[in-house]
Amino acid sequence: MSEQEARKFLFEKVKNKNLVKHCLAVGAIMGYLAEKLNQDVNSWTIAGILHDIDYETTKDDPSKHSLEGAAILEVMGLSKEITEAVKTHNEMHGIAPDSLMAKALFCCDPLSGLIVAATLVLPSKKISDLTTDNIVNRFYEKSFAKGANRNIIAKCQEYLNLSLKDFSGIGLEAMQKISQDLEL
């Protein structure tokens, strides 16, 4: 599957505009991170784009979220690495991510939300004006963007061998590259 095919499938399956933007953001971060870590950029990007493919149908039963998504992607013939990454990104299941891709997706998912929230409190509301330092400072504000799980984002150090600042910078650069898609 190509990135364009993944995007097409996302647009067919997901109707909530903000959820689509979230999936595109995570896909961008995953792809850029894969490039930095010498991994398969296409596979990582697809995992990010499709990680919440089942969210609209499982949002009322979070215990099914990511399990159904992984099953959908498995039926489509996507790799076990991608389906396992999608399955384990939902911390509710308590399944520890074991591949590098799964660990990356686990950390990237909440980072994208923190970056969006940090952008939206800027006077300009433009991601081009956001800095890595802004993100890191907001990370330490416990009352800011409570939905962005800091404990998971901080796993970047253990799982990816990246400091919070470096990981935030990679996420920011990736999202800045698709700012038009994100409308930020």
Domains and CATH numbers, the chain: 3-182 (1.10.3210.10)
Question: Exposed, middle or buried by CB within 10 Å (0-12, 13-18, 19+), for 111?
Answer: buried
Query: Which amino acid is present at 44?
Result: W
Q: For the chain, list residues with pLDDT below 50.
A: none
> Would you state the structure tokens that stand for residue 109, as one six-digit string?
């998912």
31-84 pLDDT tens trace: 999 999 999 999 999 999 999 999 999 999 989 999 999 999 999 999 999 999
Q: Give the span between the Cα atoms of 117 and 115, in whole angstroms.
A: 5
Query: Which pLDDT does position 110 carry in this prediction?
Result: 97
Q: Give the span between the Cα atoms of 107 and 10, in whole angstroms.
A: 21
pTM summary value: 0.96
Q: Which long-range contacts (CB under 8 A, 24 or more apart) does 154-161 make?
A: 155/103, 155/106, 155/107, 156/107, 156/111, 159/97, 159/100, 159/103, 159/104, 159/106, 159/107, 160/33, 160/37, 160/100, 160/103, 160/104, 160/107
Query: Which pLDDT does position 92 carry in this prediction?
Result: 86
Contact 101, 43 (CB under 8 A): yes
